[in-house]
């Protein structure tokens, strides 16, 4: 049984609204991730970023969505988030040679000289870690969505990506 490809019907109102909303949703996602300056919000911000992109795919079709974000770029984002998250721990190990002290780090000298302990802490926790979680969550959601959306095409083309 070959799946019948549904004809794609354009709708001006939906497309224009999506184009208008897309940057705003991204901005809101960024605000949830880092706007509050404290811990938390990485996962929620990441899902909001992913929702913007999934909206784009549902409106413009997944071929066009794939052009905007190929799987290799998606994998890059997935890894980049982990690098930031894991890197926040490694920076502290490397510089202080004590522990992964990203919450508790008076010994962490290079940043604290410039911005003070509280500033360095909020940078590592509020920005690096949150953005890291957010990027990975976004990329993971997008690739899950693609896996589901491309399943029919996958079976038609013999499993090649």
Partner 1 sequence: MDLVEQFPVLIVGLSMFLAYTMLLTGYLNRRLPFFMSLAMNSFFLILSLFILNHVLTVGPIRYWQGGWRPPWGIEYVIDAMNAYLLVIVISMVILGLIYSRGNVRHEIEERKHVTFYTLVQLMAAGLYGITVTGDLFNMFIWLEIASLTAYALIAVAGGRALRPAYNYVIMGSIGACLYIFGVCWLYSVTGTLNFADMRLLLPLVYDNKAVQMAFAMIVVGVMIKAYIFPLHLWQPDVYTYAPSTISSMMASVHVKVMFYILIRMFYSVFTLEFIRHYIGLDLLICWVAAIAILAGSIWAIKQRNLKRMLAYSSVSQMGYILLGVGLSPLSPWGLVGAAAHILNHAIGKGCLFMCAGAISQQEGLKDIRDFGGLGKKMPHVCAAFTIAALSMIGIPLTAGFTSKLFLIYASLDAAQYPFVAVLLLSGLLNLVYFWRVIDQMYFVKHKETENAIEVKEKGKSLPLSMVAPILILASLCIIMGIVWLTDIPLPLINHILSNLRMGVTL
By CB under 8 A, name the binding residues for partner 1.
Answer: 72, 75-76, 78-79, 82-83, 86, 89-90, 93, 97-105, 159-161
Nearer to partner 1, 99 or 144 (CB): 99
Q: How far is the CB of 82 from partner 1 (least distance, A)?
A: 4
Quick one: tokens of 17? 């609204």
Q: How far is the CB of 76 from partner 1 (least distance, A)?
A: 6
Angstrom distance (rounded) from CA 145 to CA 117 = 41
Torsion of CA 108, 119, 38, 88, to 10 degrees: -30
Nearer to partner 1, 67 or 160 (CB): 160
Q: How far is the CB of 158 from partner 1 (least distance, A)?
A: 11
Nearer to partner 1, 36 or 104 (CB): 104
Judge whether 126 and 38 are in contact, CB under 8 Å.
yes
Q: How far is the CB of 105 from partner 1 (least distance, A)?
A: 7
Nearer to partner 1, 22 or 141 (CB): 141
Quick one: tokens of 64? 């066009």
The separation between CA 147 and the C-alpha centre of its own chain, rounded to angstroms, equals 17
Angstrom distance (rounded) from CA 138 to CA 89 = 21
Q: How far is the CB of 124 from partner 1 (least distance, A)?
A: 11
Angstrom distance (rounded) from CA 80 to CA 136 = 7
Nearer to partner 1, 52 or 88 (CB): 88
Angstrom distance (rounded) from CA 90 to CA 96 = 10
């Amino acid at each position: 049984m070959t799946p019948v490809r549904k004809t794609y019907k354009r709708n001006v109102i939906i497309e224009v609204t999506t184009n208008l909303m897309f940057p705003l949703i991204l901005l809101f996602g960024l605000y949830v991730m880092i706007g509050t300056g404290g811990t938390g919000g990485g996962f929620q911000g990441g899902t909001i970023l992913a929702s913007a992109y999934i909206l784009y795919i549902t409106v413009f079709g997944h071929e066009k969505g794939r052009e905007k974000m190929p799987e290799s770029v998606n994998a890059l984002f997935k890894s980049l988030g982990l690098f930031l998250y894991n890197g926040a721990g490694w920076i502290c190990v490397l510089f202080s040679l004590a522990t992964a002290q990203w919450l508790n780090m008076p010994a962490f000298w290079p940043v604290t000289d410039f911005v003070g302990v509280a500033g360095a802490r909020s940078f590592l926790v509020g920005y690096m870690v949150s953005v890291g979680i957010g990027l990975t969550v976004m990329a993971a959601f997008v690739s899950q969505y693609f896996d589901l959306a491309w399943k029919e095409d996958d079976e038609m083309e013999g499993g090649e990506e």
